[in-house]
A and B are shown apart, each in its own frame.
Chain A
Amino acid sequence: MAELGVPVELTAAVWKIEASPGQQVAEGDVLMILESMKMEIPVESPRAGTVTSILVAEGDQVQEGQVVLLLDA
Protein backbone atom coordinates (compact mmCIF):
# COMPACT_ATOMS: atom_id res chain seq x y z
CA MET A 1 0.00 0.00 0.00
CA ALA A 2 1.25 3.43 -0.91
CA GLU A 3 -0.21 6.87 -0.69
CA LEU A 4 -1.32 8.16 -4.05
CA GLY A 5 -2.22 11.76 -4.88
CA VAL A 6 -5.11 12.28 -7.27
CA PRO A 7 -4.59 15.34 -9.51
CA VAL A 8 -7.22 17.22 -11.52
CA GLU A 9 -7.04 17.47 -15.31
CA LEU A 10 -7.96 21.13 -15.68
CA THR A 11 -8.47 24.48 -14.00
CA ALA A 12 -11.91 24.37 -12.43
CA ALA A 13 -14.05 24.88 -9.34
CA VAL A 14 -14.86 22.01 -6.97
CA TRP A 15 -18.59 21.59 -7.33
CA LYS A 16 -19.37 18.48 -5.28
CA ILE A 17 -17.26 16.14 -3.17
CA GLU A 18 -18.64 12.60 -3.32
CA ALA A 19 -15.97 10.68 -1.39
CA SER A 20 -15.21 10.91 2.32
CA PRO A 21 -12.08 10.02 4.33
CA GLY A 22 -11.92 6.33 5.20
CA GLN A 23 -14.14 5.35 2.31
CA GLN A 24 -13.23 2.28 0.22
CA VAL A 25 -13.35 3.08 -3.49
CA ALA A 26 -13.02 1.04 -6.66
CA GLU A 27 -11.14 2.11 -9.78
CA GLY A 28 -13.37 4.47 -11.76
CA ASP A 29 -15.52 5.53 -8.78
CA VAL A 30 -16.39 9.25 -8.86
CA LEU A 31 -14.48 10.99 -6.06
CA MET A 32 -15.63 14.53 -6.76
CA ILE A 33 -17.21 16.60 -9.50
CA LEU A 34 -15.53 19.71 -10.88
CA GLU A 35 -17.18 22.52 -12.77
CA SER A 36 -15.40 24.39 -15.53
CA MET A 37 -16.82 26.40 -18.41
CA LYS A 38 -20.36 25.33 -17.49
CA MET A 39 -19.50 21.64 -17.68
CA GLU A 40 -19.37 19.06 -14.90
CA ILE A 41 -16.24 16.96 -14.97
CA PRO A 42 -15.99 13.92 -12.69
CA VAL A 43 -12.71 13.10 -10.94
CA GLU A 44 -12.49 9.32 -10.98
CA SER A 45 -10.40 7.12 -8.76
CA PRO A 46 -7.32 5.92 -10.70
CA ARG A 47 -7.39 2.63 -8.78
CA ALA A 48 -9.01 0.77 -5.89
CA GLY A 49 -8.10 1.91 -2.39
CA THR A 50 -9.08 3.85 0.68
CA VAL A 51 -9.55 7.63 0.73
CA THR A 52 -7.14 8.99 3.35
CA SER A 53 -7.72 12.71 3.00
CA ILE A 54 -9.46 15.32 0.92
CA LEU A 55 -7.37 18.42 0.32
CA VAL A 56 -10.03 20.78 -1.05
CA ALA A 57 -13.50 21.98 -0.13
CA GLU A 58 -16.58 22.51 -2.25
CA GLY A 59 -16.36 25.89 -3.96
CA ASP A 60 -12.53 25.92 -4.07
CA GLN A 61 -10.75 26.85 -7.29
CA VAL A 62 -8.23 24.22 -8.39
CA GLN A 63 -5.46 24.41 -10.99
CA GLU A 64 -4.58 21.85 -13.65
CA GLY A 65 -2.39 19.16 -12.06
CA GLN A 66 -3.26 20.10 -8.46
CA VAL A 67 -3.59 17.10 -6.10
CA VAL A 68 -7.04 17.21 -4.52
CA LEU A 69 -7.28 13.88 -2.73
CA LEU A 70 -5.00 11.25 -1.21
CA LEU A 71 -5.66 7.57 -1.64
CA ASP A 72 -4.11 4.59 0.13
CA ALA A 73 -3.85 2.22 -2.80
Chain B
Amino acid sequence: MIGPVLIANRGEIACRIAATCRRLGLRSIAVFSDADAGALHVAAADAAERIGPAPPRESYLSIPAIIAAAGRSGARMVHPGYGFLSENAEFARACAEAGLVFIGPPEAAIRAMGGKAAAKAVAREAGVPAIPGDDGADQSPERLATEAARIGFPVMIKAVAGGGGRGMRRADSAEAFPAALAAARREAAAFGDDHVLLERFIARARHIEVQVFADAHGTVLHLGERDCSLQRRNQKLVEESPGPGVTPALRAELGRRAIALARAVGYVGAGTVEFVADAEGPLAAERIWFIEMNTRLQVEHPVTEMVTGLDLVEWQLRIAAGERLPAAPPPLSGHAVEARLCAEDPARNFLPSPGTITRLDLPEPAPGLRIDAGFRSGDVLTPHYDPLIAKLIAHAPSRTEALARLAAALDAVRVEGIRTNAGFLARVLRSEAMQAGAVDTHFLEGFRRQEGTQA
Protein backbone atom coordinates (compact mmCIF):
# COMPACT_ATOMS: atom_id res chain seq x y z
CA MET B 1 0.00 0.00 0.00
CA ILE B 2 1.13 3.52 -0.70
CA GLY B 3 0.44 6.57 1.40
CA PRO B 4 -0.41 9.23 2.15
CA VAL B 5 -4.18 8.68 1.89
CA LEU B 6 -6.34 11.75 1.42
CA ILE B 7 -9.76 11.24 3.07
CA ALA B 8 -12.30 13.19 0.99
CA ASN B 9 -15.02 13.20 3.62
CA ARG B 10 -15.90 14.36 7.15
CA GLY B 11 -17.60 13.16 10.36
CA GLU B 12 -17.49 9.61 11.66
CA ILE B 13 -16.46 7.97 8.38
CA ALA B 14 -13.40 10.21 8.00
CA CYS B 15 -12.40 9.36 11.59
CA ARG B 16 -12.96 5.66 10.94
CA ILE B 17 -10.84 5.63 7.75
CA ALA B 18 -8.05 7.55 9.54
CA ALA B 19 -8.02 4.89 12.29
CA THR B 20 -7.35 2.09 9.80
CA CYS B 21 -4.67 4.15 8.03
CA ARG B 22 -2.94 4.67 11.36
CA ARG B 23 -3.09 0.95 12.21
CA LEU B 24 -1.57 0.11 8.82
CA GLY B 25 1.15 2.74 9.17
CA LEU B 26 -0.25 4.89 6.36
CA ARG B 27 -0.17 8.68 6.71
CA SER B 28 -3.69 10.19 6.47
CA ILE B 29 -4.73 13.64 5.32
CA ALA B 30 -8.09 15.12 6.24
CA VAL B 31 -9.92 17.82 4.30
CA PHE B 32 -12.15 20.40 5.93
CA SER B 33 -14.55 23.22 5.09
CA ASP B 34 -14.55 26.48 7.05
CA ALA B 35 -17.33 25.02 9.25
CA ASP B 36 -15.11 22.05 10.16
CA ALA B 37 -11.73 23.66 10.93
CA GLY B 38 -11.88 22.38 14.51
CA ALA B 39 -13.68 19.12 13.76
CA LEU B 40 -12.85 15.72 15.24
CA HIS B 41 -12.01 14.26 11.82
CA VAL B 42 -9.30 16.91 11.38
CA ALA B 43 -7.75 15.88 14.70
CA ALA B 44 -8.03 12.18 13.75
CA ALA B 45 -5.76 12.52 10.70
CA ASP B 46 -2.01 13.22 10.52
CA ALA B 47 -2.47 16.42 8.52
CA ALA B 48 -5.36 18.47 7.12
CA GLU B 49 -6.11 20.69 4.13
CA ARG B 50 -8.75 23.42 3.90
CA ILE B 51 -10.97 22.93 0.82
CA GLY B 52 -13.42 25.85 0.97
CA PRO B 53 -16.53 27.41 2.54
CA ALA B 54 -19.19 25.46 4.47
CA PRO B 55 -21.68 24.71 1.65
CA PRO B 56 -20.87 21.20 0.33
CA ARG B 57 -20.88 22.32 -3.29
CA GLU B 58 -17.97 24.65 -2.50
CA SER B 59 -15.99 22.14 -0.41
CA TYR B 60 -16.72 18.42 0.03
CA LEU B 61 -18.43 18.23 -3.38
CA SER B 62 -15.84 20.36 -5.19
CA ILE B 63 -13.68 18.08 -7.36
CA PRO B 64 -11.11 20.82 -8.17
CA ALA B 65 -10.76 21.78 -4.48
CA ILE B 66 -10.15 18.19 -3.41
CA ILE B 67 -7.76 17.36 -6.25
CA ALA B 68 -5.80 20.53 -5.41
CA ALA B 69 -5.67 19.55 -1.72
CA ALA B 70 -4.35 16.10 -2.70
CA GLY B 71 -1.66 17.76 -4.81
CA ARG B 72 -0.60 20.14 -2.03
CA SER B 73 -0.42 17.38 0.55
CA GLY B 74 1.47 14.83 -1.51
CA ALA B 75 -1.34 12.25 -1.24
CA ARG B 76 -1.07 9.14 -3.41
CA MET B 77 -4.47 7.56 -2.69
CA VAL B 78 -7.93 9.12 -2.19
CA HIS B 79 -10.63 7.50 -0.06
CA PRO B 80 -14.03 9.08 -0.77
CA GLY B 81 -15.93 7.50 2.16
CA TYR B 82 -19.71 7.44 1.52
CA GLY B 83 -21.98 10.18 0.22
CA PHE B 84 -20.37 13.35 -1.24
CA LEU B 85 -18.18 12.30 -4.22
CA SER B 86 -18.03 8.57 -3.46
CA GLU B 87 -20.23 7.54 -6.39
CA ASN B 88 -19.16 10.30 -8.76
CA ALA B 89 -17.57 8.88 -11.92
CA GLU B 90 -16.11 12.32 -12.81
CA PHE B 91 -14.29 12.36 -9.49
CA ALA B 92 -12.87 8.86 -10.08
CA ARG B 93 -11.64 10.07 -13.46
CA ALA B 94 -10.20 13.32 -12.05
CA CYS B 95 -8.23 11.31 -9.47
CA ALA B 96 -6.80 9.05 -12.18
CA GLU B 97 -5.88 12.03 -14.34
CA ALA B 98 -4.08 13.60 -11.38
CA GLY B 99 -2.10 10.39 -10.82
CA LEU B 100 -4.03 9.51 -7.65
CA VAL B 101 -5.35 6.04 -6.81
CA PHE B 102 -9.12 6.34 -6.28
CA ILE B 103 -10.20 3.86 -3.59
CA GLY B 104 -13.30 2.55 -5.32
CA PRO B 105 -14.43 0.74 -8.44
CA PRO B 106 -13.42 1.67 -12.00
CA GLU B 107 -15.17 4.73 -13.47
CA ALA B 108 -17.06 2.47 -15.94
CA ALA B 109 -18.54 0.37 -13.11
CA ILE B 110 -19.75 3.53 -11.32
CA ARG B 111 -21.42 4.69 -14.53
CA ALA B 112 -22.98 1.28 -15.29
CA MET B 113 -24.68 1.23 -11.87
CA GLY B 114 -25.29 4.98 -11.71
CA GLY B 115 -28.88 5.14 -12.96
CA LYS B 116 -31.73 2.91 -11.79
CA ALA B 117 -32.84 2.10 -15.36
CA ALA B 118 -29.26 1.35 -16.49
CA ALA B 119 -28.64 -0.86 -13.44
CA LYS B 120 -31.85 -2.80 -14.17
CA ALA B 121 -30.65 -3.40 -17.71
CA VAL B 122 -27.36 -4.78 -16.34
CA ALA B 123 -29.38 -7.07 -14.05
CA ARG B 124 -31.47 -8.36 -16.98
CA GLU B 125 -28.26 -9.17 -18.90
CA ALA B 126 -26.78 -10.91 -15.86
CA GLY B 127 -29.94 -12.97 -15.29
CA VAL B 128 -30.66 -11.33 -11.93
CA PRO B 129 -34.35 -10.63 -11.28
CA ALA B 130 -35.15 -6.94 -10.81
CA ILE B 131 -38.41 -5.62 -9.42
CA PRO B 132 -41.06 -6.11 -12.12
CA GLY B 133 -41.83 -2.84 -13.81
CA ASP B 134 -41.76 -0.72 -16.93
CA ASP B 135 -39.31 2.11 -17.54
CA GLY B 136 -41.90 4.14 -19.42
CA ALA B 137 -40.19 4.24 -22.83
CA ASP B 138 -43.69 4.60 -24.32
CA GLN B 139 -45.76 7.13 -22.35
CA SER B 140 -49.12 6.64 -24.07
CA PRO B 141 -51.87 5.91 -21.52
CA GLU B 142 -52.95 2.80 -23.49
CA ARG B 143 -49.44 1.35 -23.51
CA LEU B 144 -48.90 2.12 -19.79
CA ALA B 145 -52.22 0.43 -18.95
CA THR B 146 -51.14 -2.68 -20.89
CA GLU B 147 -47.79 -2.73 -19.06
CA ALA B 148 -49.54 -2.28 -15.70
CA ALA B 149 -51.68 -5.34 -16.39
CA ARG B 150 -48.55 -7.33 -17.33
CA ILE B 151 -46.74 -6.28 -14.08
CA GLY B 152 -49.85 -7.12 -12.04
CA PHE B 153 -51.96 -5.01 -9.66
CA PRO B 154 -51.49 -3.24 -7.33
CA VAL B 155 -48.98 -1.22 -9.29
CA MET B 156 -47.09 1.95 -8.32
CA ILE B 157 -47.00 4.84 -10.78
CA LYS B 158 -43.93 6.99 -10.12
CA ALA B 159 -43.00 10.33 -11.65
CA VAL B 160 -39.48 10.02 -13.08
CA ALA B 161 -38.73 13.54 -11.82
CA GLY B 162 -40.67 13.14 -8.56
CA GLY B 163 -39.44 12.85 -5.02
CA GLY B 164 -40.48 12.86 -1.40
CA GLY B 165 -43.58 10.83 -2.16
CA ARG B 166 -44.99 13.38 -4.59
CA GLY B 167 -45.87 12.19 -8.08
CA MET B 168 -46.50 8.70 -6.71
CA ARG B 169 -49.85 6.94 -7.05
CA ARG B 170 -50.97 3.40 -6.41
CA ALA B 171 -53.47 1.73 -8.74
CA ASP B 172 -55.22 -1.33 -7.33
CA SER B 173 -56.96 -2.46 -10.50
CA ALA B 174 -57.15 -1.94 -14.27
CA GLU B 175 -60.34 0.09 -13.71
CA ALA B 176 -58.60 2.45 -11.27
CA PHE B 177 -55.48 2.81 -13.43
CA PRO B 178 -56.48 5.69 -15.78
CA ALA B 179 -57.49 8.02 -12.91
CA ALA B 180 -54.36 7.19 -10.89
CA LEU B 181 -52.18 7.78 -13.95
CA ALA B 182 -53.79 11.18 -14.57
CA ALA B 183 -53.25 12.19 -10.90
CA ALA B 184 -49.60 11.09 -10.91
CA ARG B 185 -49.07 13.03 -14.17
CA ARG B 186 -50.62 16.19 -12.69
CA GLU B 187 -48.26 16.04 -9.69
CA ALA B 188 -45.32 15.12 -11.91
CA ALA B 189 -45.97 18.17 -14.11
CA ALA B 190 -45.12 20.33 -11.08
CA PHE B 191 -41.57 18.99 -11.40
CA GLY B 192 -41.50 20.13 -15.04
CA ASP B 193 -41.61 16.58 -16.44
CA ASP B 194 -44.72 14.38 -16.56
CA HIS B 195 -42.91 11.13 -17.47
CA VAL B 196 -43.84 8.19 -15.24
CA LEU B 197 -42.58 4.67 -14.70
CA LEU B 198 -44.37 1.65 -13.30
CA GLU B 199 -43.33 -0.75 -10.57
CA ARG B 200 -44.94 -3.66 -8.77
CA PHE B 201 -46.32 -2.46 -5.43
CA ILE B 202 -45.02 -4.35 -2.41
CA ALA B 203 -47.21 -3.63 0.61
CA ARG B 204 -44.77 -4.97 3.18
CA ALA B 205 -41.15 -4.83 2.11
CA ARG B 206 -37.82 -5.56 3.71
CA HIS B 207 -34.53 -4.06 2.58
CA ILE B 208 -31.80 -6.69 2.33
CA GLU B 209 -28.37 -5.96 0.89
CA VAL B 210 -25.30 -8.06 0.18
CA GLN B 211 -21.72 -6.87 0.74
CA VAL B 212 -19.44 -7.80 -2.14
CA PHE B 213 -15.70 -7.44 -2.59
CA ALA B 214 -13.79 -7.84 -5.84
CA ASP B 215 -10.08 -7.62 -6.55
CA ALA B 216 -8.39 -6.66 -9.82
CA HIS B 217 -7.44 -10.29 -10.48
CA GLY B 218 -10.92 -11.74 -11.04
CA THR B 219 -11.88 -12.87 -7.53
CA VAL B 220 -15.32 -11.73 -6.35
CA LEU B 221 -16.57 -12.65 -2.85
CA HIS B 222 -19.67 -11.86 -0.87
CA LEU B 223 -19.66 -11.29 2.90
CA GLY B 224 -23.27 -12.11 3.65
CA GLU B 225 -26.24 -9.81 3.99
CA ARG B 226 -27.44 -6.89 6.09
CA ASP B 227 -31.08 -6.22 6.84
CA CYS B 228 -31.72 -2.46 6.76
CA SER B 229 -35.51 -2.39 6.95
CA LEU B 230 -35.67 0.13 9.81
CA GLN B 231 -35.87 3.42 7.92
CA ARG B 232 -37.37 6.86 8.13
CA ARG B 233 -37.76 9.04 5.02
CA ASN B 234 -36.15 6.18 3.07
CA GLN B 235 -32.99 6.52 5.19
CA LYS B 236 -31.71 3.67 7.31
CA LEU B 237 -31.49 3.99 11.10
CA VAL B 238 -30.87 0.40 12.28
CA GLU B 239 -29.02 -2.34 10.39
CA GLU B 240 -28.13 -5.90 11.29
CA SER B 241 -26.33 -8.98 10.07
CA PRO B 242 -27.28 -11.76 9.53
CA GLY B 243 -30.78 -10.82 8.32
CA PRO B 244 -33.58 -12.38 10.40
CA GLY B 245 -35.00 -15.37 8.56
CA VAL B 246 -32.24 -15.53 5.94
CA THR B 247 -31.40 -19.23 5.62
CA PRO B 248 -27.96 -20.44 4.45
CA ALA B 249 -29.56 -21.44 1.12
CA LEU B 250 -31.10 -17.98 0.64
CA ARG B 251 -27.82 -16.32 1.63
CA ALA B 252 -26.03 -18.38 -1.01
CA GLU B 253 -28.61 -17.42 -3.65
CA LEU B 254 -28.48 -13.67 -2.87
CA GLY B 255 -24.69 -13.91 -2.77
CA ARG B 256 -24.71 -15.60 -6.18
CA ARG B 257 -26.87 -12.79 -7.61
CA ALA B 258 -24.69 -10.07 -6.08
CA ILE B 259 -21.50 -11.65 -7.44
CA ALA B 260 -23.08 -12.04 -10.91
CA LEU B 261 -23.89 -8.31 -10.95
CA ALA B 262 -20.42 -7.32 -9.74
CA ARG B 263 -18.85 -9.47 -12.45
CA ALA B 264 -21.21 -8.04 -15.11
CA VAL B 265 -19.80 -4.52 -14.60
CA GLY B 266 -16.15 -5.46 -14.01
CA TYR B 267 -16.39 -4.43 -10.38
CA VAL B 268 -13.31 -3.87 -8.19
CA GLY B 269 -13.35 -2.99 -4.49
CA ALA B 270 -16.19 -2.85 -1.94
CA GLY B 271 -19.77 -2.66 -3.17
CA THR B 272 -23.28 -3.33 -1.95
CA VAL B 273 -26.05 -4.91 -3.93
CA GLU B 274 -29.47 -3.87 -2.62
CA PHE B 275 -32.58 -6.02 -2.83
CA VAL B 276 -36.20 -5.51 -1.87
CA ALA B 277 -37.91 -8.54 -0.32
CA ASP B 278 -41.62 -9.19 0.02
CA ALA B 279 -42.09 -9.43 3.80
CA GLU B 280 -45.50 -11.17 3.62
CA GLY B 281 -44.75 -14.66 4.92
CA PRO B 282 -41.28 -16.21 5.09
CA LEU B 283 -38.54 -14.80 2.86
CA ALA B 284 -38.40 -16.56 -0.51
CA ALA B 285 -35.83 -16.11 -3.27
CA GLU B 286 -38.53 -15.72 -5.93
CA ARG B 287 -40.01 -12.77 -4.00
CA ILE B 288 -36.71 -10.88 -3.64
CA TRP B 289 -35.66 -8.46 -6.36
CA PHE B 290 -32.59 -6.36 -7.18
CA ILE B 291 -33.04 -2.58 -6.83
CA GLU B 292 -29.62 -0.97 -7.13
CA MET B 293 -25.91 -1.29 -6.44
CA ASN B 294 -24.02 1.18 -4.27
CA THR B 295 -20.50 1.45 -5.63
CA ARG B 296 -18.84 2.46 -2.36
CA LEU B 297 -18.46 1.64 1.33
CA GLN B 298 -21.82 1.80 3.15
CA VAL B 299 -22.56 3.64 6.39
CA GLU B 300 -23.59 0.29 7.91
CA HIS B 301 -20.43 -1.65 6.93
CA PRO B 302 -19.44 -2.16 10.63
CA VAL B 303 -22.12 -4.83 11.15
CA THR B 304 -20.43 -6.90 8.44
CA GLU B 305 -17.05 -6.22 10.07
CA MET B 306 -18.36 -7.45 13.43
CA VAL B 307 -19.68 -10.76 12.05
CA THR B 308 -16.70 -11.44 9.75
CA GLY B 309 -13.89 -10.03 11.91
CA LEU B 310 -12.59 -8.13 8.87
CA ASP B 311 -11.66 -4.46 8.44
CA LEU B 312 -13.37 -3.52 5.18
CA VAL B 313 -11.42 -0.27 4.83
CA GLU B 314 -8.18 -2.25 5.07
CA TRP B 315 -9.46 -4.53 2.29
CA GLN B 316 -10.35 -1.49 0.19
CA LEU B 317 -6.83 -0.12 0.60
CA ARG B 318 -5.19 -3.48 -0.16
CA ILE B 319 -7.31 -4.04 -3.29
CA ALA B 320 -6.63 -0.50 -4.52
CA ALA B 321 -2.92 -1.29 -4.15
CA GLY B 322 -3.36 -4.38 -6.35
CA GLU B 323 -3.36 -7.08 -3.67
CA ARG B 324 -5.40 -10.27 -4.00
CA LEU B 325 -8.47 -11.30 -2.01
CA PRO B 326 -8.34 -14.65 -0.21
CA ALA B 327 -10.01 -17.51 -2.09
CA ALA B 328 -12.89 -17.75 0.38
CA PRO B 329 -14.55 -15.34 2.81
CA PRO B 330 -14.46 -16.00 6.57
CA PRO B 331 -17.56 -17.65 8.09
CA LEU B 332 -20.13 -15.37 9.74
CA SER B 333 -19.99 -15.43 13.53
CA GLY B 334 -22.71 -14.27 15.91
CA HIS B 335 -25.06 -11.35 15.31
CA ALA B 336 -24.34 -7.62 14.92
CA VAL B 337 -26.72 -4.65 15.11
CA GLU B 338 -25.98 -0.99 14.43
CA ALA B 339 -27.97 2.09 15.43
CA ARG B 340 -27.37 5.54 13.96
CA LEU B 341 -27.36 8.24 16.61
CA CYS B 342 -28.72 11.30 14.78
CA ALA B 343 -29.43 14.92 15.64
CA GLU B 344 -33.16 14.75 15.10
CA ASP B 345 -36.40 14.76 17.04
CA PRO B 346 -38.53 11.61 16.60
CA ALA B 347 -41.42 13.31 18.44
CA ARG B 348 -41.53 15.98 15.72
CA ASN B 349 -41.46 13.62 12.73
CA PHE B 350 -37.66 13.26 12.87
CA LEU B 351 -37.15 17.01 12.39
CA PRO B 352 -33.38 17.73 12.16
CA SER B 353 -31.86 19.35 15.25
CA PRO B 354 -28.75 21.32 14.28
CA GLY B 355 -26.88 23.28 16.94
CA THR B 356 -24.03 23.06 19.44
CA ILE B 357 -23.58 19.73 21.22
CA THR B 358 -22.86 21.11 24.67
CA ARG B 359 -22.46 17.62 26.11
CA LEU B 360 -21.85 14.31 24.37
CA ASP B 361 -21.22 11.24 26.51
CA LEU B 362 -21.06 7.98 24.59
CA PRO B 363 -20.53 4.59 26.22
CA GLU B 364 -16.94 3.32 26.23
CA PRO B 365 -16.14 0.73 23.54
CA ALA B 366 -16.00 -2.77 25.04
CA PRO B 367 -15.89 -6.35 23.78
CA GLY B 368 -19.07 -6.68 21.71
CA LEU B 369 -19.63 -2.92 21.61
CA ARG B 370 -18.12 -0.61 19.01
CA ILE B 371 -18.59 3.16 18.88
CA ASP B 372 -17.80 5.06 15.64
CA ALA B 373 -18.17 8.74 16.54
CA GLY B 374 -17.59 11.82 14.41
CA PHE B 375 -18.14 14.48 17.07
CA ARG B 376 -17.38 15.36 20.70
CA SER B 377 -18.69 17.74 23.36
CA GLY B 378 -18.56 21.34 22.17
CA ASP B 379 -18.81 20.55 18.45
CA VAL B 380 -21.33 22.34 16.26
CA LEU B 381 -23.69 20.46 13.95
CA THR B 382 -24.44 22.82 11.08
CA PRO B 383 -27.48 22.56 8.78
CA HIS B 384 -25.05 22.07 5.86
CA TYR B 385 -24.29 18.41 6.60
CA ASP B 386 -26.10 15.22 7.56
CA PRO B 387 -27.37 14.60 11.13
CA LEU B 388 -25.28 11.48 11.90
CA ILE B 389 -23.38 11.97 15.18
CA ALA B 390 -22.16 8.43 15.85
CA LYS B 391 -22.84 4.79 15.14
CA LEU B 392 -23.22 2.30 17.98
CA ILE B 393 -22.66 -1.33 17.00
CA ALA B 394 -23.25 -4.34 19.24
CA HIS B 395 -22.10 -7.90 18.58
CA ALA B 396 -23.13 -11.00 20.54
CA PRO B 397 -23.57 -14.74 20.01
CA SER B 398 -27.34 -14.34 19.48
CA ARG B 399 -29.62 -11.70 17.98
CA THR B 400 -31.51 -11.28 21.29
CA GLU B 401 -28.28 -10.54 23.18
CA ALA B 402 -27.02 -8.16 20.50
CA LEU B 403 -30.31 -6.18 20.58
CA ALA B 404 -30.18 -5.99 24.40
CA ARG B 405 -26.54 -4.87 24.39
CA LEU B 406 -27.23 -2.14 21.83
CA ALA B 407 -30.33 -0.90 23.69
CA ALA B 408 -28.29 -0.69 26.92
CA ALA B 409 -25.58 1.26 25.08
CA LEU B 410 -28.19 3.72 23.80
CA ASP B 411 -29.52 4.12 27.35
CA ALA B 412 -26.04 5.27 28.37
CA VAL B 413 -25.88 8.04 25.74
CA ARG B 414 -26.11 11.55 27.21
CA VAL B 415 -26.50 14.47 24.84
CA GLU B 416 -27.25 18.10 25.67
CA GLY B 417 -27.73 21.13 23.43
CA ILE B 418 -29.48 19.26 20.61
CA ARG B 419 -32.15 16.57 20.36
CA THR B 420 -31.28 13.01 19.36
CA ASN B 421 -33.02 9.76 18.57
CA ALA B 422 -31.17 7.72 21.27
CA GLY B 423 -34.20 7.03 23.48
CA PHE B 424 -36.44 6.32 20.49
CA LEU B 425 -33.95 3.80 19.07
CA ALA B 426 -33.63 2.01 22.42
CA ARG B 427 -37.44 1.64 22.58
CA VAL B 428 -37.50 0.38 18.98
CA LEU B 429 -34.85 -2.27 19.76
CA ARG B 430 -36.90 -3.49 22.75
CA SER B 431 -40.21 -3.53 20.85
CA GLU B 432 -42.01 -6.81 20.38
CA ALA B 433 -41.90 -6.57 16.58
CA MET B 434 -38.14 -5.93 16.53
CA GLN B 435 -37.50 -8.73 19.03
CA ALA B 436 -39.44 -11.07 16.73
CA GLY B 437 -37.69 -9.77 13.59
CA ALA B 438 -41.14 -8.97 12.18
CA VAL B 439 -40.35 -5.56 10.72
CA ASP B 440 -40.63 -3.86 7.37
CA THR B 441 -39.66 -0.55 5.80
CA HIS B 442 -42.75 1.19 7.24
CA PHE B 443 -42.22 -0.09 10.78
CA LEU B 444 -40.26 2.87 12.21
CA GLU B 445 -42.69 5.52 11.06
CA GLY B 446 -45.62 3.45 12.33
CA PHE B 447 -43.89 2.95 15.69
CA ARG B 448 -43.30 6.70 15.97
CA ARG B 449 -46.95 7.52 15.19
CA GLN B 450 -48.09 4.97 17.76
CA GLU B 451 -45.83 6.53 20.41
CA GLY B 452 -47.16 9.97 19.44
CA THR B 453 -50.76 8.96 20.09
CA GLN B 454 -49.86 7.36 23.44
CA ALA B 455 -47.86 10.37 24.65
B350 neighbours in A (Cβ, 8 Å) = 39
Most buried by B among A13, A39, A41: A39
Contact B348 A37 (CB under 8 A): no
Contact B355 A37 (CB under 8 A): no
A38 neighbours in B (Cβ, 8 Å) = 385-387
A12 neighbours in B (Cβ, 8 Å) = 352, 354, 383
Contact A37 B385 (CB under 8 A): yes
B352 neighbours in A (Cβ, 8 Å) = 10, 12, 36-37, 39, 41
The distance from the CB of B76 to the nearest CB of chain A, in whole angstroms, is: 31
Contact B351 A41 (CB under 8 A): yes
Interface flag for B343 (CB, 8 Å): yes
Interface flag for B381 (CB, 8 Å): yes
The distance from the CB of B355 to the nearest CB of chain A, in whole angstroms, is: 7
Q: For the complex, what is the distance from the CA of A11 to the CA of B355, rounded to whole Å? A: 8
A10 neighbours in B (Cβ, 8 Å) = 351-354, 383
The distance from the CB of A57 to the nearest CB of chain B, in whole angstroms, is: 16
Contact A36 B383 (CB under 8 A): yes
B344 neighbours in A (Cβ, 8 Å) = 37
Report how many A-B pairs have Cβ atoms within 8 Å.
39
A9-B351, A10-B351, A10-B353 known; A37+B343 contact, CB < 8 A: yes
Total A residues in contact with B, Cβ cutoff 8 Å: 13
Interface flag for B124 (CB, 8 Å): no
B164 neighbours in A (Cβ, 8 Å) = 40
| CB-based nearest A residue for B355 | A11
Contact B348 A13 (CB under 8 A): no
How would residues 359 to 396 of chain B score, 1 for a CB under 8 Å from any chain A CB and 0 otherwise? 00000000000000000000001011111000000000
The distance from the CB of A63 to the nearest CB of chain B, in whole angstroms, is: 10
Contact A37 B233 (CB under 8 A): no
Q: For the complex, what is the distance from the CA of A38 to the CA of B386, rounded to whole Å? A: 5
Residues of B within 8 A of A (CB): 164, 233, 343-344, 348, 350-355, 381, 383-387
Q: Can you name 8 extra interface pairs (CB under 8 A) apart from A13-B383, A37-B381? A: A11-B354, A12-B352, A37-B344, A37-B352, A38-B386, A38-B387, A39-B350, A41-B351
Residue pairs across A and B with Cβ atoms less than 8 A apart, 12 shown, are A9-B348, A10-B351, A11-B354, A11-B355, A11-B383, A36-B354, A37-B343, A38-B385, A38-B386, A38-B387, A39-B352, A40-B164
